[in-house]
Structure 1
Amino acid sequence: MATRIVTFLGLGSGRFPERYEPVRYRGEKGIHGPTALHDVPTIAEAEGPVTLVVLGTVEVEQTWFASDLYLTLLRRDLGPCPMPLVRLVVIPKGASTEERWEIFEQLVALVDPDRPVVPGEVRPTGIVVDITHGFRSQPFFAAAAIAFAQSERRRRWTEAKSPAVPVRIAYAAYEPSGGPGPDRGQNATRSDAPAEQVVVPIWDLTQFLDVLRWNTALDGLLRHGRADDLAGLLEGAEKEARPRAASAEDHKEIGKQIGPLSRFRKAASAFAEGLVTVRVPALITEL
């Protein structure tokens, strides 16, 4: 197991010695911090060796890396967790069409598990793209690049049979001082507690990207008679549903959760096969 994290980094603010306000973050496995670096909980909870790719402008490089500030804070706040391999990728500001295409191409390469991003990197079995500090259109480019790379990878997988690698999108829902406190009730404010006591949730936005994959897969079936992408998504949904179904005491509930997915997957595959082999009965009865 190995994890690659691709994250954006901004300049931060001179109001804080650490450029960003130190707060605690709620990850999937617990609360981390306080820290000024929102990547710390993602690194701490990652499986296997971690590679961290930081995307930033020339100004970010001068502010965070020329002075070694970023690496110093990262070593300190990770505590006993192993230090990841770190690479800074300098990106343009995206002020022109050419610069925006350059950012897109860089992101496509960085979410490709078959392209090592640093010497000695273990091929990742999972990739996390953190858009918390994505500036202006950068989060949009990240989503577009992931969708493009996954589509391109599925085409390559058909030829090379290399294993798929899940890509997650993460966002730390930090709110500046004076706004509603993320984990302290709707009527609470940031002024109710010191910043280091604030707990910032990390949202998993991957499902919104999955909508594009489902739409593309359905389009492939309805317009071109291809069911492989849709069958793969349905099979993945079945696997995700099984742990939830297994915890259900009512066996009928298990069938309700898994049965429709399995039937739809088999019907779509049979329908697509019927189109290829011109089996008219299958075309009429399967869907």
Structure 2
Amino acid sequence: MKALSFLGRGNYQTVTYVFGERSCTTSLFPEALARMFPLERLFLFVTEEARKSQGFLELRERLGDLLEAVTIPEGKSEEELWEIFARCAACLKEGDSVVLDITHAFRSLPLIVFTVSAYLRKVMKVEVQHILYGAYEARVPRREPPQPEDCVPVFDLAVLLDLLDWLSGVEAFLARSEAGILAEKLRITHDRLNRSGTVNGEKPRKIKRVAGKLEELSKALHLSRPLDVMEIASLLLPELEEAKAELSRWARPFAVVLEKVAQEVGRLAEEHPRSLSEESLGRQLELIEHYLEKGLVVQAVLLAREWVVSWACLKDGQDFWLNRKYREGVESILGGMAQQARDRKALSGQKSWMTDALAREWGWLTQLRNDIAHCGMSVSAKGAQSIESKAKVIPGKLRAILASVPGVSPSQEPKVVNLETLYDGVAKLELLPQYLEKARELAGEGCDVVLTGQAPVWLYLAVAHALHGKARRLYYSSPVTGEVLIFDHAAL
């Protein structure tokens, strides 16, 4: 075991430091550290000025070869702070066990110690056993001047590192739907409490079940198993509710974000996902949007293509929509439609859901899926940014299909959004969010949209951007220019 400690130039008083059943009477906590723990080496970090102090000279005499002094700068600049960080980290190697002491640390050094602690644990796999602070101000009795027999409690702040792990786990789940860290923390908490029990002998019974379900959900999400995702989420929701009391008592960092986690899970829950319906397809569509929000573009695109097949199965009125051969047959029909559309031929077949618009969407989505599935191994492969940009418009396209309007046919009237009606008098930039909300309502989903009316250029640009991914085609119209095509997602 090694220790990292600090010494300043303070006038330290002799007291009795107490840590559990261990104690040591001294004016210098690094000495107490050496007496309380079986150390192989104690690294003492001192500035040039602190190295000349009487306290340092006394420590060197009392601890002998156990002590290794490391000179550090004052920490008055960012560069010096990084230098202190580097010198602390350089004292340890992978697999070491360490006790960190901030009792006599000054200015920003305690914060650096916590940063070093997190780095050592995550990167170098160092076991941080304790982060100690001798709370001189909490001595008992509190006499002035203090007497050697006055007891100073030594607090272990390593629990704050544990809190950092909880925060990392929560961030990973909310940002990327990755529940591995959270599940591990819950499982460790459950096992530790069941080994030791609590003061009144109670033990948690439900925390570990929550951990298991969270991990299952995360794996199903990342392996693109939408039906499993919806089933697991529907089972996890009541588990979270039932475990609320235990989580609040024994896993408080998780309990704080429990409502947020439940909201995330609730968006994915569906009790009967294997029963094909517009409702279940709607929930799958929400899952696609969830994937895109979390940056999981590959999963979103893969599911989107399967979603179109499932939608066609629903329109075909078949109950065996999960039969692989049947789905391959539907895919073949969709592929034939796409080919006919590319060859500009009239669609052949007896399926009522076969339309030119659906054929274009299927062809576009299949190309995008293939580009991803083949890992860009093609001279014509799209770049990552292009793929991400294309993926963002998928939800709007699928919502139009779900509403049984796979695309707006030429015979359908486009939606007209007159920008003059969005505001009264003069358009105000601070009211832009209200204008955009009204424009989205007027435009609907998956329709051809025409922008017209007198309005400032900035409002036209903002509305056009807001309708990207919602409108199928967007036009600008004025008496001078006539209709001008701004974008055409149907042609993608």
How has the CA–CA distance of structure 1 residues 208 and 91 changed in structure 2, closer, same or farther, with 3 Å as cutoff?
Answer: same
User: 1:228 and 2:180 equivalent?
Assistant: yes
Tell me which of 140, 143, 147 is aligned to 1:190: 143
Structure 1 match to 2:136: 174
Q: CA deviation at 1:57?
A: 0.3
Offset at 1:270? Answer: 0.8
How do 1:275-286 residues align onto structure 2 when only pairs under 5 Å count? 275-284=221-230, 285-286=232-233
Specify which of 69, 73, 84 is matched with residue 62 of structure 2.
73
Q: How many equivalent pairs are there?
A: 233
Q: How far off is 1:200 after superposition? A: 0.5
Structure with greater helix percent: 2
Query: TM-score, structure 1 length as denominator?
Result: 0.71
Letter in 1 for 2:208: S
1:135 aligns with 2:126: no
Alpha-carbon offset, residue 90 of structure 1:
0.5
- Residue 29 of structure 1 deviates from its aligned partner by 2.1
TM-score when normalising by structure 2? 0.43
Which consecutive residues of structure 2, in runs of 5 or more, have no partner in the other structure? 237-492
Shift of the alpha carbon at 1:274?
Answer: 0.6
> C-alpha separation between the residues in 2 aligned to 1:52 and 1:214?
30
Distance 1:219 1:260 in 2: 23
C-alpha change, 1:246 and 1:172, in structure 2 (3 Å) is closer
Is it true that 1:273 corresponds to 2:244 in the alignment? no
Preserved CA contact (<8 Å) 1:231 1:268: yes
State the partner residue of 1:24: 16
- Distance (whole Å) between structure 1 residues aligned to residue 129 and residue 10 of structure 2: 27
Cα gap change, 1:41 to 1:235, in 2 (>3 Å): farther
Moved more, 200-209 or 229-238: 229-238
**8 Å CA contact 2:13, 2:146 repeated in 1:** no
State the one-letter code of the partner of 1:221.
Answer: F
- Matched with 2:463 is none
Q: Is the 8 A contact 1:147 1:213 kept in 2?
A: no
Distance 2:103 2:48 in 1: 19
Q: CA deviation at 1:201?
A: 0.5
Deviation at 1:49, TM superposition (A): 4.3
Structure 2 CA distance for partners of 1:37 and 1:164, relative to 1, 3 Å: closer
Tell me the residue number matched to 1:245. 197
Residues 119-173 of structure 1 deviation map (CA, whole Å, 9 limit, x = unaligned): xxxx63x3211111111111111112222333334xxxxxxxxx66234211001
Counterpart residue number, 2:7: 9
**Aligned-pair distance for 1:226?**
2.6
**CA distance change for structure 1 residues 86 and 74 in 2, over 3 Å: closer, same or farther?**
closer
**Aligned AA (1:277):** L
8 Å contact from structure 1 (residues 37, 74) kept in 2: no
Q: Does 1:103 align with 2:87?
A: no
Which residue matches 1:56? 46
Deviation >6 Å, runs of 4+: none
* Equivalent in the alignment of 2:155: 203
- CA deviations 1:217-264 (Å, max 9, x no partner) are 111122223333223322332343133328755xxx32xx2x233112
Residues 64 and 182 of structure 1: CA distance in aligned 2, closer, same or farther (over 3 Å): closer
SS of the residue 1:94 aligns to: coil
Identity level (%): 26
Report the Cα distance in structure 2 between the residues aligned to 1:60 and 1:141, rounded to whole angstroms: 18
1:217, 1:230 within 8 Å by CA — same for their partners in 2? Answer: yes
User: Aligned pair in 2 of structure 1 residues 64, 230: CA closer, same or farther (>3 Å)?
Assistant: farther
C-alpha distance in structure 1 between counterparts of 2:31 and 2:195, whole Å: 29
What runs of 5+ residues in structure 1 fail to find an aligned partner? 14-19, 76-83, 115-122, 154-162, 176-180
Q: Give the direction of change, closer, same or farther, for the CA distance of 1:282–1:222 in structure 2 (3 Å limit).
A: farther
Q: Is the 8 A contact 2:131 2:157 kept in 1?
A: yes
Partner of 2:242: none
Instruction: State the partner residue of 1:159.
Output: none
1:175-220 Cα offsets, whole Å, 9 max, x none, are 3xxxxx6223xxxx404x8611111000111222322221111111
Contact in 1 for aligned 2:73/2:80 (Cα 8 Å):
yes
- C-alpha separation between the residues in 1 aligned to 2:121 and 2:174? 20
Give the counterpart letter for 2:10 in structure 1.
Answer: G
Q: Secondary structure at the match of 1:220?
A: helix
CA distance in 2, matches of 1:145, 1:73: 27
SS of the aligned residue for 2:52 comes to helix
Q: Distance in 1 between matches of 2:132 and 2:39?
A: 19
Task: Give the residue type in structure 2 aligned to 1:4.
Answer: K
Matched with 2:291 is: none
- Write out per-residue CA displacement over residues 86-121 of structure 1, whole angstroms, 9 at most, x where no aligned residue: 2111000011221111112223334x541xxxxxxx
Structure 1 or 2, whichever has the larger Rg, is 2
| Match in the other structure for 1:42 | 33
Kept after mapping to 2: 8 A contact 1:52/1:87:
yes
Given residue 51 of structure 2, which amino acid in structure 1 is its aligned partner? E
